[in-house]
Amino acid sequence: MTLSLRHHIDLLTSPDPVMMVSVAAVKGSTPREVGAFMLVTRNRTAGTIGGGNLEHQVTRRVVDAFAEQLDGKSDTAMLPNGEIVRFPLGPGLGQCCGGSVEVGFHLLDAGQKADLGDVLSEIASEPVSQSGRWVMLPVAGDAGGLHIAASDSLQAGMLASGFGTERGGIVTINGAETLCLRLDEALTPMWIFGAGHVGQALVSALAPLPFDVHLIDSRDDYLDRVKGENLHIHQSDKPQDEVADIPAGAHVLILTHNHALDFDICRAALMRGDLGFVGMIGSQTKRARFVRRLSDRGLGAAEIGRLTCPIGIQGITGKQPVVIAASVAAQVLSVREAQMAQNQTTKAASDGVG
């Protein structure tokens, strides 16, 4: 179960009152991104908004409010609910990030706990790659309760035009300020061709990371050995034909047992032109040979330039499958983060923000 969702679900199914604490907005350097959230009860927490003194102070505020309510010193109405509170991350909090965080506080009633628990259970059992699930929470002073929607709904479409990141933020919906948080991880589709030793190690390395992994091989016996989260198994006698079904923006890693098959998959992937990353295991010699053959088959410099081979980050030279997998996982995670930052910058520019 990814993202420690088991802990979130356990809290939501307990009889204790639950406060949803979230990062509503950020400025400057901060320990977590917009949309990060945690759940707080009288004596337990699940998730994190960045740790450190910020999280300690926020948690203490909620726990103290719960304690006063339990002692009869205040009622539920006095608990922070729908508030957005700004915390500068400076000397006052003993943190030197230099930015500031706006933190949202939302007390969940029994129905909201059940709704949130249900959707987190769905995400845990069937992760979403691109569609996404959102929770919408009213900001203090505005009517309405917690609402959950998929990103292809009308309201989620309004969200997409309201802020520059898919991780959440405060937008105006139907005239009311609303805090919107993405509940899943916006997993990036990752297609791995080859279920050999390195392919198996990559599945394990990518399991806790924000990728929705598809593993393709012609060999049933190799595929039968692989288990993992966010994993889809595809047996195909012609793996190169599967390239046409890969969604735009997906990442592709090519590491089959056959160089001729590597070439066919590589050529098909590079001809797509809309994939986020195309990487292939191999040496500089293999790359040079493939570049010549790709050029002979009519691919231009721009298409060939989209190929990353060898794969992995500089400085890691170990050949063990687990070492290669760790190096490649770091590389594709770096590519993913850069692409997300570029998408945010592009959207901000198109919206006239800057």
| 28 and 164 housed in the same domain | yes
E-strand ranges in 211-297 read 211-217, 231-235, 251-254, 277-280
Q: Do 65 and 160 have their domain in common? A: yes
Whether residue 27 is found in the same domain as residue 144: yes
Q: Please indicate, yes or no, whether residues 153 and 273 belong to a single structural domain of this protein.
A: no
Q: Does residue 350 form part of some domain?
A: no
**Domain check: are 164 and 214 in the same one?**
no
In a domain, 87, yes or no: yes
Looking up residue 309, the CATH number of its domain turns out to be 3.40.50.720
CA distance 17 to 67: 11
Q: Which two tokens stand for residue 25?
A: 């907005």
pLDDT of amino acid 257: 94
**Alpha carbon distance, N-terminus to C-terminus of the chain:** 39
d(CA 50, CA 21): 11
Q: Are 15 and 86 in the same domain?
A: yes
Same domain, 281 and 194: yes
How many distinct structural domains can be found in the chain? 2
For residue 214 the two structure tokens come to 């598809």
155 falls within a domain: yes
pTM score of the predicted model: 0.70
Query: Do 265 and 174 fall within a single domain?
Result: no
pLDDT in tens, the chain (354 residues): 344 588 899 999 999 999 999 988 887 777 788 888 999 999 999 988 888 888 998 999 999 888 887 766 555 555 677 888 888 876 554 445 557 888 989 999 888 899 889 888 887 776 554 456 778 888 865 545 677 766 555 455 555 544 444 445 777 777 777 888 878 766 789 999 999 999 999 999 998 888 989 999 999 999 999 987 668 999 999 999 999 999 889 999 999 999 999 999 999 999 998 999 999 999 999 999 999 999 999 999 999 999 999 999 989 989 999 999 999 999 999 999 888 777 655 554 554 544
In one letter, which amino acid is 171?
V
Domain co-membership, 120 together with 222: no
Contacting residues for 89 by C-beta, under 8 A, at least 6 apart? 28, 29, 30, 31, 54, 95, 96, 97, 98, 99, 100, 101
Is 195 in the same domain as 331? yes
Q: Are residues 200 and 117 in the same domain?
A: no
Domain that holds residue 228: 188-338
- One domain for residues 64 and 177: yes
